[in-house]
Amino acid sequence: MYRIRRRGAALIVLLFAAFLPSTVTAQAATPAVELRVPHTAYLTKRGVSPSGGVRLWLAPQPGAGQAAQTDVTLTVDASGLEGIARLRTRRACGEHAFGTTDVVRCTLGTLTRGKDTYPDGIYIEAVEGVRRGSHGTIRYTFSAPGTEDAVFETDVWIEGPDLRARVEKPRTGDPAGETFGFTPRIRNAGRFPAQGFGVKFAAAQVTFPVQYSNCRYAAEGPGLYADCWFDQPLAPGQAYEFTAPVSVGVPDTMVNGSFSYAPYLQGMTGNAEEDPGATGTDPALRQGTGTELRVRPIDAGAGSFVDKYNLGEIRMHTSQTTDLRVSAEAVVGTTGGTDEATFRVDNAGPGRISGTVLRITVPEGLSVVRPTPPPDPDNESEWQWECAAAGRRVYTCRPPNPLEPGDTWQTTLEFRIDRRVRGAEGLLEAVQDAKRPANDPHLADNTASFAVRSTGGPLVEPSEPSARSLAASTGRDGDDDGSHLTVALAFAACLVGGALVLGLRARAVRRRTDADGPGEDSH
């Protein structure tokens, strides 16, 4: 997986590099440093990055197990990438703009074992107009007094392979509290081979027990994450499947949910800002101790694999049940005035459920008052909304998290009483995302009416459909009611300058701050 050589042994290493199955360290009696770099890496973006390229995070340690090494220097030679990629450097490696030099020298000083010492400010990016599949070599040479140079090389590709996960059918009926085996399938939809690849697994509920030696798992397991690395090539246009299943643990209380898997290519450094790949280290992960997991080619049509922007998501609907119960307050006031009403959903258990939406159909004669977000003088918050308009007199409110057994979630809307309408009433419903159905044996308490008790002004007869009629015409699906259209509608509103989406009950969310230094997270 890695190719690491030193002067005087270059020919031997080049002859045997293709047969090395795992990390190799420099074999000098006293090498300058120990380091892990990817044998093959991919710049997944062609063209010039506006944020300054991908930062090369190299983490050398003193060679030969020494506690410290003084006067270490690094020479980065990217001349083998001419016409393919280019360097930019800062600070300890000199101030060089992109393309002004192919070879840079960095002064690292003293390296201390166990301490990360990153060469400061080396960035790489693909040159503008480079063709997909172009590749060349970048070389790192570490030197120190009294030691032999340690030389490391990486074969850098511009995009090239295009890895995709299979479109999986939803799973139904898996027993809660048990474990099942799942066999992922992937395909290289590109025109170039992949020289090594990884597959990540992630979930919010299900767990991945420790199994295979080439996979890493949550240190406090079983956990919600796994990452497997394969030292195998993937041929262009070929589909593959795992030679053995990945174990997936279903929690006792899980009613519905999902997990995902995503294939990826090794990045330039394997640091925390990239997919971990073969070189990644993370104290929160532990290596598996079982047999090595591999892949094998299979016959599978291209249409069964998702496009490159999607994960391979596996939705699950287990045997567990839950009982959702809703309640709503009456709206009380005078014509022309306002009143608040609170709407609640309780999960009476025993299962944990996700994808629940509260759908509120507004009584005739009432309108919802748009909230005024509090001031944000520092401009540090983005506003997200619990509720959004989903149709005529219909609003949907989505809890931010799954509902655990015993949980209660509520939201409050402010109404203006525009007219007194005889017999006006609204309707509250707990509806379920069609992609995440639920086993609820008591559907009658998923719906509740709420009254309007108003005074002042003339009492008029109803002239619009009742709340129940509107709700019936909208449907029972938490997706079809428009709750997932909020983002699209908001975008359309920006285009036409109108307020097509009414957001209610604002929640402030602190923006994520970017890392210091241009390009450190641009990949």
- pLDDT of 174 above 50: yes
DSSP label of 341: E
How far is residue 148's CA from residue 6's CA, in Å, rounded to a whole number? 8
- Residue 486 phi/psi, 5-degree rounding, is -55, -50
The fold adopted by the segment(s) 163-318 is Immunoglobulin-like (2.60.40)
4-158 has CATH 2.60.40 classification: yes
pLDDT above 90: residue 446: yes
Q: What is the pLDDT of residue 514?
A: 33
CB atoms within 10 A of CB 475: 14
**pLDDT band for position 309 (50/70/90)?**
low
Q: Can 163-318 and 322-510 be said to share one CATH topology?
A: yes
Burial state string for 402-439 with b = 16 or more CB within 10 A and e = fewer than 16: bbeeebebbbbbbbbbebbbeebbbbbbbbbbebbbbe
pLDDT of 11: 30
The pLDDT assigned to 381 comes to 60
For 30-64, the pLDDT digits (tens) are 899 998 888 888 887 766 655 567 888 888 999 99
Residue 335, pLDDT score: 97
What pLDDT shows up at residue 261?
95
CATH code, 322-510: 2.60.40.10
* Residue 6 reports pLDDT greater than 70: no
Question: Taking residues 481-487, what's their average pLDDT?
Answer: 37
Residue keyed to tokens 């990540």 = 200
Q: What percent of the chain has pLDDT over 70?
A: 77
pLDDT 10s digits, 325-375: 999 999 999 999 999 999 999 999 999 999 999 999 999 999 999 776 666
The residue ranges of every structural domain in the chain are 4-158, 163-318, 322-510
Element (H, E) at 103: strand 103-112
